[in-house]
Amino acid sequence: MKIIILGAGLSGISTAYFLQKKPGVESITLIEKSSATGGLCRSIRSGKYTYDIGPHILFSKDKEMLELMLNVLNSRNDLKRSNKILYNGIQVQYPFENDLSKLPSEDLRYCIDSFNHNPYENYDATNMIQFFLKTFGEGITNTYLRPYNEKIWKYDPAFMNTSMVERIPKPTKEEIQRSASGETVEGYLHQLYFSYPAEGGIESVVKGFEKQLDPAICNIVLNNAVQTVKKQDSSYTVLTSQGQHYQGDLLISTIPVQELSKAYESADNCLLEHVSKLRYNSIAIAFAKTPYDLCGDNFAFMIPDKDVIFHRISKMDFLGSSYHHQGETTYMVEVTYRDKDQISSLSESELMQQIKQGFEKIGFAHRTEDVEIVNLTRHQYAYVIYDLNHTANMEYIRNFYSKEGILLNGRFGNFEYWNMDKVLRESLELCKQLG
């Protein structure tokens, strides 16, 4: 069997990794439009600096997949989470509900009273905001959860389903009481301790799997965007931007389903209509530095303040000695946006200036002039938005491609907000299903 995999991110590489030893597999060709493998798990190098497209860390309740990721690394750093929420100039430990005593007294009473006397807790939650109100009450929802989620998603949470939040545990009254009385309660324990590659950034995981691909079976073709996909009888032909033709007996797509549907010759208007209704965010990633450290020994900071353009900022120095540079502190900054919105229309210089101003507003810089933006990149496909029509749209799309014999996989291939461990698990399960 000759297999073609569209995309060579973590999903594409891991799918090839699992499939290569399967009986009957003659060849696996991975077609990638970029000049390097990795996809969203790619690390960016700018001079002496290495950073990721968003803060990727290695943790999981799926111990088998976690061990698999760790085993492909040459070396790693094992770390304890120290994440903060910047609330009106106050550093509140993440998760918010576990460090309520840091809040001003009026906000604290609002959060405690509305949690203890919650009129929403017995309703079924059908959207994200209903889930927050039901689980945390009005106070915690309105002081942090609503503004932060509106900011990161650029979408009203009342029009998002519960897929992103339904696994969040409900705090007990005893935990809330301890949090309010001054005790910082550790929450989300499965991600309290995490690992990170000692050098090379998160793409070291992808490269680790890539090194284990058998070159006699697996071939990665870079700098070739998918132009046309055609099905003929029981085989598939892929034409790339470089004029190359590839033919296979099985086609697995990990590229965004939007791009697959543009290329697929048999895509009909009904499919394209469902695909057009899928919602997602793009992201701008800035790598910035200051000549001093004003944030302490912490990693990630969530910023719900709408006057600050970025929603999260991560201190790269926290991740280990190879990410620290003497005499400066370095940060990875995330700004989400969508095509045609206000942020998407900003020029590079305007966006960088707003990022610098954000540093000063949150107290990480004395002056905007002290912030240097080393690099700025934009990435079209970043976050899947689970709007209220997501499930129905994807059900139609999956059924369409299933009938065509095309397998979808990966975050944007299957259009699901999957973390790295989930991507690996789905790649393994796909391999098992092929029998």
Tell me how far CA of residue 295 lies from CA of 44, 82, 84, 335, 394, in angstroms.
Answer: 23, 11, 10, 19, 42
Residues of the chain with pLDDT under 70: none
Give residues with Cβ within 8 angstroms of 409, minimum separation 6.
11, 12, 15, 252, 253, 254, 426, 427, 430
Comma-separated ranges of CATH 3.50.50.60 domains in the chain? 2-39+203-278+388-433
Note the pLDDT of residue 168: 85
Tokens representing residue 282 in the block: 């793009």
Domain covering 2-39+203-278+388-433 in this structure, CATH number: 3.50.50.60
* First-last CA distance in the chain: 13
Note the pLDDT of residue 189: 76
Q: What is the pLDDT of residues 226-248, one digit of tens each?
A: 999 999 998 999 999 999 999 99
Note the pLDDT of residue 93: 94
Q: pTM value?
A: 0.95
Q: What is the pLDDT of residues 180-202, one digit of tens each?
A: 999 888 877 788 999 999 999 99
Note the pLDDT of residue 185: 82
Tell me how far CA of residue 195 lies from CA of 75, 201, 250, in angstroms.
Answer: 10, 11, 35
Torsion 359-363-364-367 (CA) sign: positive
Note the pLDDT of residue 238: 98
Note the pLDDT of residue 187: 76
